[in-house]
Amino acid sequence: MTLGSPTLTVVHVIISLIGILSGFVIVFGMMAGRRLGGWNAIFLTTTVLTSVTGFVFFPFHGVTPGIILGILSLIALGIALFARYTRQLTGGWRRTYAIAAVIALYFNVFVLIAQLFEKVPALHELAPTQKEPPFLVAQITCMVVFIILGIFSVRGFRAGQ
């Protein structure tokens, strides 16, 4: 298999989708004040792998928005891993974990939306350069939803056990 091959792309997409789905499970778990240890491990592992496979599986053509988001995601994930496993969610680390996890999930969903607008013909027609209003509305709506999810995750997770 070569860099950027269809097989590697499919593997990357599957890992990304597992990360996104498990991320939503943990966000709603945090909102309910639950830790969901196994789901956290799946989310953190697949979300780290999403960034890593993005860097390794695809050819490098200079710094792109995707690379910048991958780096930012790995920083958020590093903070989340430290808060979850080193600091054991004690004190303010519980809130730090919630914020970092929601940010990492947001970055993955942001990229998913960008990819949908690039790859799905009907969406691509609406925003071929991803600078058109439909794309901007989708991304701004996504950001607002994640800010709300983040607020409720921090509040619920802080109150939980």
Mean pLDDT per block of 10 residues along the chain (161 residues) reads 79 97 98 94 98 90 88 98 96 96 97 96 97 97 98 88 53
Angle at 51 between CA 48 and CA 54, to 5 degrees: 145
Give the pLDDT confidence score for residue 1 in this predicted structure.
61
Give the pLDDT confidence score for residue 160 in this predicted structure.
61
Alpha-carbon gap, residue 108 to 114, rounded angstroms: 10
Give the pLDDT confidence score for residue 114 in this predicted structure.
95
Give the pLDDT confidence score for residue 130 in this predicted structure.
95
Give the pLDDT confidence score for residue 5 in this predicted structure.
80
Which DSSP string do the residues of 75-142 spell out, in sequence order? HHHHHHHIIIIISTT-TTHHHHHHHHHHHHHHHHHHHHHHHHHHHSHHHHHH-TTS-SHHHHHHHHHH
- Domain range annotation of the chain: 6-159
